[in-house]
């Protein structure tokens, strides 16, 4: 199989690729496995047996299959069956394979990106939540769904080489639900972060030492994920500074927040925190809750959605909320489209997505994408993508099982694809784009 270089890609880095102003080799970064998002959403590959250039993978939470979509022709390409129950994320692990995170089973399923077939099961000591693939070492960290454990897998051989953490069942009660851990993240070739949600800790572990963490930082509530600005907006000292989404707790009336901390040797040191409810006195923490944040392309502002229906804009330097934008119920992920100075917000409990003008952080438009919405289910998927030419945005109406395309110039839904006559629940996945990656 002929392939071209793989790397994770920040959505706001796509603009650099589309205008051709910066080549991948000019953007080399020592830690390109630190993708700004929470899963390995993108990969780059030049060929597959179907000769289809751009693909979207989405798991069906209600069954044991993965839908693979031909994005350009807006059609179902194939279905990967017998994955194990509850495939949620479909995380890319380099150019050659993806892992289907079957959160209802103690295993994950390997998907071959060339044949696009089920390539076997990897047994685990825990249910999987999500992964972070280290491009430098070829190792991926798989966080635990029901236990505060992380499995370290050699991706070339699909073999678990170590299991780190605590082999005990936990059921956290903060806003983000009962999953034992948040999304993992490698710090370097040896150390990684495990987010222990039950104990409300950010833990730093060594992949070769399973006895105890190197350091642990207690947090106000469970942490969903860690993130950093794009590498091209950071200087050298910023590489050790991280930002964490503390999800909040509605019953305990604790606001969601952004925590800033620094890695100093083996120690995690908190350097700032801003509660979203601090923006004004009318905000009620018993209605709030967050699970994802993203950096604006300027590398200064953070966009974070909250369950009551707002997106908060935070200045990372002052750690203050500088703007609050109306969105929809369940406001979560933000996808940036820098060529258009736009951001599109996933509203998990609404029928519409919200478009924001990122020049002045203001509401621009709502786009209807789902037939129905309710707090008891997610109407929109976690995973979205932007085409490499920055013309189209793609995502899914999860509960309707509809994959859709939005024209970024007209901000209208242009094409849709219903999967299995609407009898599926597509919540998360990944994209394969036929092009060189930009190291960010």
Please state the rounded mean pLDDT for residues 72-97.
Answer: 94
For residues 213 and 206, give the distance between their C-alpha atoms in angstroms, rounded to a whole number: 7
Please state the rounded mean pLDDT for residues 224-249.
Answer: 92
- Please name which of 94, 147, 159, 74 lies closest in space to residue 120, comparing C-alpha atoms: 159
Residue 226 in this model has a pLDDT that exceeds 90: yes
Q: For residues 36 and 89, which has the higher predicted lDDT (pLDDT)?
A: 89
- Please name which of 357, 278, 263 lies closest in space to residue 315, comparing C-alpha atoms: 278
Q: φ and ψ at 421, to 5 degrees?
A: 55, 30
pLDDT in tens, 383-401: 999 998 899 999 999 999 9
| 375: its two tokens | 């707090």
Residue 88 DSSP SS3: strand
Quote the distance between the C-alpha of residue 319 and its chain's center. Answer: 23
E strand intervals along 155-300: 159-165, 185-186, 191-196, 201-206, 215-218, 223-227, 241-246, 257-264, 267-275, 293-295
Please state the rounded mean pLDDT for residues 273-297.
Answer: 96
For residues 44 and 32, give the distance between their C-alpha atoms in angstroms, rounded to a whole number: 14
Residue 13, pLDDT score: 40
The pLDDT-based confidence of 46 (bands split at 50, 70, 90) is low
Quote the distance between the C-alpha of residue 146 and its chain's center. Answer: 19
Please state the rounded mean pLDDT for residues 231-259.
Answer: 94
For residues 143 and 111, give the distance between their C-alpha atoms in angstroms, rounded to a whole number: 19
Please state the rounded mean pLDDT for residues 248-275.
Answer: 98
Please state the rounded mean pLDDT for residues 313-328.
Answer: 98
pLDDT in tens, 119-157: 999 999 999 999 999 999 999 999 999 999 999 999 999
């Amino acid at each position: 199989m002929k392939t071209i270089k793989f790397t994770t890609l920040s959505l706001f880095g796509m603009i650099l690729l589309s205008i051709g102003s910066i080549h991948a080799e000019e953007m080399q970064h020592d830690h390109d496995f630190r993708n700004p998002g929470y899963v390995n959403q993108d990969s780059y590959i030049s060929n597959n047996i179907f000769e289809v250039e751009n693909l979207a993978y989405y798991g069906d939470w209600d069954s044991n299959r993965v839908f693979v979509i031909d994005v350009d022709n807006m059609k179902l390409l194939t279905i990967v069956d017998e994955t194990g129950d509850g495939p949620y994320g479909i995380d890319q692990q380099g150019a050659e394979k993806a892992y289907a995170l079957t959160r209802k089973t103690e295993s994950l399923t390997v998907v071959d990106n060339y044949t696009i077939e089920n390539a076997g099961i990897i047994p685990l000591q825990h249910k999987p939540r999500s992964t972070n693939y280290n491009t430098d070492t070829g190792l991926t960290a798989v966080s635990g769904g029901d236990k505060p454990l992380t499995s370290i897998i050699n991706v070339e051989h699909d073999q678990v080489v170590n299991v780190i953490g605590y082999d005990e069942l936990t059921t956290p009660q903060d806003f983000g639900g009962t999953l034992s851990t948040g999304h993992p993240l490698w710090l370097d070739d040896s150390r990684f972060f495990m987010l222990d949600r039950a104990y409300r800790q950010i833990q730093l572990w060594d992949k070769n030492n399973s006895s105890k963490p190197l350091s642990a930082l207690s947090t106000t509530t469970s942490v969903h994920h860690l993130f950093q600005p794009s590498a091209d907006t950071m200087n050298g000292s910023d590489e050790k500074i991280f930002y964490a989404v503390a999800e909040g707790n509605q019953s305990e009336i604790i606001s969601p927040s952004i925590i800033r901390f620094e890695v100093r040797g083996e120690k995690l040191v908190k350097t700032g925190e801003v509660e979203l409810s601090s923006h004004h006195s009318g905000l009620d923490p018993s209605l709030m809750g967050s699970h994802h944040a993203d950096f604006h392309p300027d590398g200064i502002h953070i966009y974070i959605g909250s369950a009551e229906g707002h997106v908060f804009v935070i200045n990372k330097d002052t750690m203050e909320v500088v703007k609050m934008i109306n969105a929809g119920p369940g406001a979560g992920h933000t996808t940036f489209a820098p060529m258009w100075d736009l951001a599109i917000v996933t509203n998990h409990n609404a029928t519409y997505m919200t478009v924001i003008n990122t020049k002045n952080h203001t509401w621009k438009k709502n786009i209807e994408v789902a037939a129905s919405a309710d707090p008891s289910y997610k109407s929109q998927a976690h995973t979205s993508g932007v085409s490499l030419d920055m013309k189209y945005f793609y995502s899914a109406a999860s509960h309707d099982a509809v994959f859709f395309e939005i024209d970024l110039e007209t901000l209208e839904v242009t094409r849709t694809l219903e999967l299995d006559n609407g009898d599926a629940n597509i919540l998360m996945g990944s994209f394969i784009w036929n092009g060189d990656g930009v190291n960010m």
